[in-house]
Amino acid sequence: MNRALLILCGLLVGSMWASPSMARPADEVVLLALGEDRILPTMSGDWQIHVFPAGLAEVRVLRQATEIFVKGLAEGEGLLIFSNPRLKSSILWSLRVGKERPTLRKPDRLPVRRACLCETDKKLWLNCQVKNQACLEALQSHLSVADLKARDIQLIFDMEVLRQQLQRLQKILKDEGLGGVELAFLGGTLVLDGVLRDEDAYHRLLALLNRYLVGRMNISDRIKRLDASKK
């Protein structure tokens, strides 16, 4: 069977850069003006929240971990990273801070529809089959400038395209000094295994995946942190 059994529904996954492009929709999109603060509902449970890059925003957990306070501190783009050590899981929200509150970006879908086999769907922004590299590249270009949430799209990947993604991502991680991490697909989950120096390196890893990965992956964190093992 050529088509991957993995169906990536409503997309969830270097070094620091001044304004990183996001290649895959995160679970949520947070837009803030510089100095603006908002209180947002979030998942219940024992989630730790970090801002990447540091200094882009202030974030605090409120009201028994069912809401968060977020305040824009600097103009730019980044991530709110939710990590749950008990579940060994991570969830990403995209974050944009502008001089004024940014507007949602939803560029023309025609280039993607020309490159991919897509169905018209009133509920989904994109509902496509990813069968070749041309489609993958069209999706990456589109998603890098679109403010979409995980539930906005559905992609079905052929196995060969998934394999090519893994090979490309492994090379990127090696080039960025994160060659100690191995990636693998397990059903609908992207498994991260290996060794990293500390939590900051793990955040860099997630930011890289968010930048280059096309397709939502639930993240399973099996990474060993060297600084934790010394405590």
- Per-residue pLDDT reduced to its tens digit, 29-39: 999 999 999 99
| Contact predicate 203/52, CB 8 Å | yes
Nearest residue to 204 (alpha-carbon basis) of 34, 55, 54, 70: 54
Q: How many domains does the chain have?
A: 1
**pLDDT tens-digit series, residues 174-219:** 999 999 999 988 877 889 999 999 999 999 999 998 888 887 767 8
Amino acid occupying residue 29: V
Whether pLDDT at 226 is above 70: yes
pLDDT at 86 (0 to 100)? 84
Residues 6+ apart with CB under 8 A from 209: 13, 169, 190, 217, 219
User: For residue 24, what pLDDT is reported?
Assistant: 65
Confidence (pLDDT) at 8: 38
Report yes or no on 112 lying in a domain: no
Q: What is the pLDDT of residue 95?
A: 95
Q: DSSP of 125-165, one letter per residue?
A: SEEEEE-SHHHHHHHHHHHTT---BGGGEEEEEEHHHHHHH
pLDDT for 29 equals: 93
Do 116 and 154 contact (CB within 8 A), yes or no?
Answer: no
Instruction: Flag whether 180 is in a domain.
Output: yes
User: Looking at the domain assignment, is residue 219 inside a domain?
Assistant: yes
Evaluate whether residue 58 is within a structural domain. yes
CATH number at residue 91: 2.60.40.1080
Domain that holds residue 58: 3-104+158-229
Q: What are phi and psi of 102, to 5 degrees?
A: -65, 155
Kindly report the length of the chain.
231
pLDDT band (50, 70, 90) for residue 13: very low
Average pLDDT rounded to a whole number, residues 74-92: 90
Angle at 6 between CA 109 and CA 115, to 5 degrees: 25
Give the pLDDT confidence score for residue 82 in this predicted structure.
92
Instruction: Please report whether residue 14 resides in a domain.
Output: yes
